[in-house]
């Protein structure tokens, strides 16, 4: 009986060791190196063709050409996956060779020598063919990257290829054709003679990015996530990068900030007119691709609806633009809210930014859109709903960007043409978005501090002049009202707080002082505690001379999150203990039998 018990105990211990041991040990060693796949860059693809009657015309990539696209990644990572799309093509496209490298940073499409890595497909293929309407993912490429550094993606095409599916923001693309033998230039350190591919419209240049839809990055952080900016051309700027800098200065480099804004985009209907394809699909139709289907999305920032209003009154495209009321647009907002909340994604809306003075001078044909009270009233209805609704998770109030002497206009230094933001305007917009909206505290720098600028210098001057004029006009009352004038003086250099603060409102405004060349001025940044202790210094420019760190780690999968190393260690320890106790019992019983 004793021997039977010993055999049973020994068999049980061996079974546990064989069955559970590999699982627990594998979990401990393999999962410890796992992380979270984030979307670290993206650009919403549109149909790159122009329509003339029944014909569509696209830019082309000549046979034997190499294109190189420079893009910024917004998170730290150790692996990358690239998604290429032929969504709007009517023929297959073949990428014959591809590579990724670190960008030299001189604006001429050059890369840091020795950092080139091949981008492969289907477990090692150098080339890939993408069918019409389809997309492909690359193999995961082992490459360490740092948040806000630029990488260059180079693609070689043996055959003439139409640029049917393109992004129009968040990077720069250069094209070069070998005149001698048409050979690939994907690994060329210097891209001498390359021409930039872009589209110019008035004061704005849109940078064409063929076929590259998104880049995913493997973060070591189990808490990493993605935040998406989505909207129209008033969001086609660097506000998302300035916001990313704020997050990094607060000590987080595991939150991907992706900009999926599209020029001319509307919420409820597709683009129309000669260049209507470039305006993209209605946001309601592209929302799944550009937000919901991205990796690890937790937050969404929406700035849309202005073109749904303005294009109805455009002289060139009003006849082909569906007519929608403010109530129709608000119903569309509610659809976006429901779709985000079904996925556990928090959604925030921007109020309508001022646009009086914008004319949309289409192809040099003169004024195409003019400000009217009817259009402004529709915009005001949307803003009122954004400020007062309790359905979304919060809002971003764009009113601080307006000219205080005429709130229907943007401050001139913050805009390029009356509606689209200048770089200074993009900095100001980034500072209007509370860091708490992405789960980050207020210990970081403001975008204005990081950039070393004062976006509200002009506004402060306007406010001061208005106050001076008011004082002059009311000169007889100066003596009796002197105490009130002194008390109210600080208000001349600060932005007024929102008059209403619903439950989903941003945190209260706080005052931030910054030195200018002429004087010290004060202005308010919503959601930023400027007296807080800094968790880290402001983000410094990436050292362009440092090479990538490449490892041979192939242990993780895209679905893995967390590490679980402590659990694996405990399970392994328990199993070793079970075996040891069993062997001790076996020895004891044998001694007794003897």
pLDDT tens by residue, the chain, 594 residues: 444 544 554 444 444 444 444 333 332 233 334 689 999 999 999 999 886 666 667 789 999 999 999 999 999 999 999 999 999 999 999 999 999 999 998 778 999 999 999 999 999 999 999 999 999 999 999 999 999 999 999 999 999 999 999 999 999 999 998 777 789 999 999 998 899 998 776 666 778 999 999 999 999 999 999 999 999 999 999 999 999 999 999 999 999 999 999 999 999 999 998 889 999 999 999 999 999 999 999 999 999 999 999 999 998 899 999 999 999 999 999 999 999 999 999 999 999 999 999 987 766 667 888 899 999 999 999 999 999 999 999 999 999 999 999 999 999 999 999 999 999 999 999 999 999 999 998 788 999 999 999 999 999 999 999 998 887 766 555 445 444 444 444 333 333 343 333 456 665 544 334 433 333 334 444 443 433 333 333 333 333 232 222 222 333 333 322 222 332 333 333 344 444 554 544 444 444 443
Question: Are 143 and 179 a contacting pair, CB within 8 Å?
Answer: no
Per-residue pLDDT, 203: 65
Residues 6+ apart with CB under 8 A from 338: none
Predicted local confidence at residue 238, as pLDDT: 97
Sheet holding 255-259, edge to edge: 255-259, 225-231, 297-303, 346-350, 394-396
Beta strand extents in 103-183 (DSSP E only): 117-118, 128-130, 135-137, 141-145, 150-157, 161-162, 165-167, 172-177
- Residue 568's pLDDT is 33
d(CA 164, CA 144): 32
pLDDT for res 105? 81
The SS3 assignment for 232 reads coil
**Domain boundaries, given as residue ranges, for the chain:** 42-220, 222-475+495-543
Report DSSP state, residue 476: G
Helix (H, G, I), strand (E, B) or coil at 257: strand
What span, in angstroms and rounded, lies between the C-alpha atoms of 300 and 228?
5
CA neighbours within 13 Å on the CB side: how many for 24?
17
CATH of 222-475+495-543, one of 3.40.50.1110, 1.10.4080.10, 2.40.50.140, 3.50.50.60: 3.40.50.1110
329: three-class secondary structure by DSSP: helix
SS3 152: strand
Kindly report the pTM of this predicted structure: 0.79
Query: Helix %, strand %, coil % for the chain, to 5?
Result: 30, 25, 40
Q: Can you tell me the distance from the alpha carbon of 300 to that of 229, in angstroms, rounded to the nearest whole number?
A: 6
């Amino acid at each position: 009986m004793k021997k039977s018990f010993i055999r049973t105990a020994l068999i049980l211990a061996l079974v546990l060791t064989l069955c559970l041991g590999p699982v627990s040990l594998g979990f401990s060693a393999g999962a410890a190196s796992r992380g979270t796949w984030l979307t670290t860059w993206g650009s919403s693809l549109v149909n790159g063709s122009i329509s003339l009657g029944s014909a569509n015309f696209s830019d082309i990539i000549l046979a034997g050409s190499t294109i190189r696209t420079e893009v910024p990644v917004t998170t730290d990572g150790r692996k990358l996956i690239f998604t290429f799309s032929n969504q709007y093509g009517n023929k297959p496209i073949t990428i014959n060779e591809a590579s990724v490298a670190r960008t030299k940073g001189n604006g001429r499409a050059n890369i840091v020598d020795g950092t080139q890595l091949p981008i492969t497909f289907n477990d090692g293929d150098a080339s890939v063919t993408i069918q019409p309407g389809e997309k492909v993912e690359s193999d995961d490429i082992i490459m360490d990257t740092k948040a806000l550094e630029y990488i260059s993606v180079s693609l070689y095409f043996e055959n003439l290829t139409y640029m049917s599916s393109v992004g129009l923001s968040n990077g720069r693309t250069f094209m070069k054709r070998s005149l001698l033998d048409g050979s690939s230039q994907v690994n060329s350190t210097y891209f001498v003679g390359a021409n930039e591919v872009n589209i110019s419209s008035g004061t704005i240049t849109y940078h064409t990015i063929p076929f590259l839809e998104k880049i995913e990055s493997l973060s070591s952080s189990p808490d990493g996530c993605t935040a998406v900016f989505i909207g129209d051309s008033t969001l086609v700027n660097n506000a998302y990068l300035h916001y990313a800098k704020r997050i990094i200065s607060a000590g987080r480099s595991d939150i991907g900030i992706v900009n999926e804004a599209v020029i001319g985009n509307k919420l409820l209907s597709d683009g129309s007119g000669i260049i209507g394809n470039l305006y993209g699909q209605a946001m309601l139709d592209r929302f799944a691709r550009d937000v919901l289907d991205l990796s690890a999305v937790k937050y969404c920032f929406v700035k849309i609806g202005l073109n749904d209003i303005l294009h109805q009154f455009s002289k060139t495209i009003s006849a082909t633009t569906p007519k929608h009321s403010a109530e129709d647009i608000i119903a569309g907002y509610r659809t976006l809210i429901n779709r985000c909340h079904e996925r556990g994604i928090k959604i925030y809306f921007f109020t309508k930014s001022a646009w009086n003075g914008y004319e949309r001078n289409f192809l040099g044909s003169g004024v195409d859109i003019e400000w009217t009270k009817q259009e402004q009233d529709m915009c005001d209805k949307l803003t009122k709903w954004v400020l007062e609704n309790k359905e979304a998770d919060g809002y971003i109030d764009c009113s601080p960007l307006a000219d205080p002497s005429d709130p229907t206009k943007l401050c001139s230094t913050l805009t390029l043409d009356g509606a689209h933001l200048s770089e200074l305007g993009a900095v100001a917009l980034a500072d209007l978005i509370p860091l708490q909206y992405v789960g980050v505290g207020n210990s970081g720098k403001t975008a204005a501090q990081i950039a070393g600028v004062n976006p509200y210098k002009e506004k402060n001057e306007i406010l001061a002049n208005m106050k001076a004029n008011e004082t002059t006009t009311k000169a007889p009352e100066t003596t009796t009202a002197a105490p009130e004038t002194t008390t109210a003086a600080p208000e001349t250099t600060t932005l007024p707080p929102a008059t209403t603060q619903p439950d989903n409102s941003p945190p209260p405004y706080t005052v931030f002082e910054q030195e200018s060349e002429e004087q010290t001025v004060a202005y308010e940044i919503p959601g930023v505690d400027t007296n807080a202790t800094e968790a880290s210094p402001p983000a410094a420019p990436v050292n362009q001379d440092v090479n990538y760190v490449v490892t041979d780690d192939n242990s993780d999968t895209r679905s893995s999150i967390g590490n679980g190393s402590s659990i694996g260690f405990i399970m392994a320890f328990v199993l070793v203990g079970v075996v040891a106790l069993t062997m001790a019992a076996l020895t004891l019983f044998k001694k007794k039998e003897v």
